[in-house]
Amino acid sequence: MGPTSTSARKTRNPGTRAQGEQHTARGPVQSRSRQTLDGILLAATALFKEAGPPALTFAGIAKAAGVSVGAVQFHFANKEAILEAVITRILDDNLQAEIVLYEQLAGAGGGMSAFLHAYICGQHELLARFNPHFAKSIEIIRANPSLAAKGQAIGIRAEALGKATLGAALERDGLPRVEERIDAAYHAILSFVLRELNFPSAPPGSPALLRRRHALGQMCLAYLTGA
């Protein structure tokens, strides 16, 4: 038997992936194919945010992205792969939004009281945007070890960024930086925001909610500064 030809050696079942390719999308891809993949992911993410996992059908995504069903199937083997890619994108978008928020807070003027007010409001606005998507994703994330690890890593990084921003604000005002107090203040603010989002005690923007935000900021200020 003669040597195997180059073309024969390169041929493989289209339903399999070569070692090293992504497990969510079939790659590698060329520039035009990457643009198609980005469009598909954008459309799938929008559908997921609007209607949750049931909206992620090959036909529905293809229609929303303006491509053929075959184009969607070329990049994603099944619905599970689409879900993983969409939720990964949402997690990454959330982290990027937190980074932007903390950069804005770091560059803001005013004293510590004004900073804490902006910090609490910023956290509330950011989580209000992403919390509904997390609610649709949580069971999927828990059942997928890769997504669970991704979510945990992003949560740890976001917490570190949040605490670092609080610490930097204290130092900027010449106040003592006590890590245990920063940790407690960070979690008090996060717990308050999540509770108001999931079990609101007052309508958004209402005087009662604004008063509670202010009170939380003052309590955190007193605790952080040892006043």
pLDDT in tens, 171-187: 999 999 999 999 999 99
State residue 98's pLDDT score.
93
How far apart (Å, rounded) are the C-alpha atoms in residues 192 and 212? 9
Q: Is the pLDDT of residue 16 over 50?
A: no
Which strand (E) or helix (H) includes residue 83?
helix 79-106
What is the pLDDT, as a whole number, of residue 6? Answer: 43
Task: Provide the pLDDT for residue 30.
Answer: 67
Examine domains 23-75 and 86-225 and report if their fold is the same. Answer: no
In single-letter form, the type of residue at position 114 comes to: A
Please answer whether residues 123 and 189 qualify as being in contact, where contact means their C-beta atoms are separated by less than 8 angstroms: yes
The residue that leads in pLDDT, 149 or 9, is 149
Tokens of 62: 């293809």
First-last CA distance in the chain: 87
> What mean pLDDT do residues 178-204 have?
95
**Average confidence (pLDDT) over 195-213:** 93
- CA dist 35 and 153 (Å) reads 28
Indicate the fold that domain 23-75 takes in CATH.
Arc Repressor Mutant, subunit A (1.10.10)
Q: What are 56-84's pLDDT values in tens digits?
A: 999 999 999 999 999 999 999 999 999 99
- H/E stretch holding 187 reads helix 179-198
Position 34 scores a pLDDT of 87
Diameter over CA atoms, the chain: 87
| Segment 83-86 long-range contacts (CB within 8 Å, at least 24 positions apart) | 83/48, 83/53, 83/56, 83/140, 84/23, 84/24, 84/144, 84/146, 84/147, 85/24, 85/25, 85/41, 85/44, 86/41, 86/44, 86/45, 86/48, 86/56
Phi, then psi, of 131 in degrees rounded to 5: -55, -40
What is the spatial distance between Cα 113 and Cα 106, in angstroms, rounded to a whole number? Answer: 14
DSSP 47-76: HHHHH-GGG--HHHHHHHHTS-HHHHHHH-
CA neighbours closer than 13 Å in the CB half-sphere of residue 214 = 7
CA distances from 66 to 36, 40, 41, 80, 152 (A): 10, 8, 12, 21, 34
- The CB density around residue 207, as the number of other CB atoms within 10 Å, is 9
Q: Say which residues have a Cβ less than 8 Å from residue 147's Cβ, sequence separation at least 6.
A: 84, 87, 88, 91, 140, 141
Domain-wise residue ranges, the chain = 23-75, 86-225
CATH class of 86-225: mainly alpha
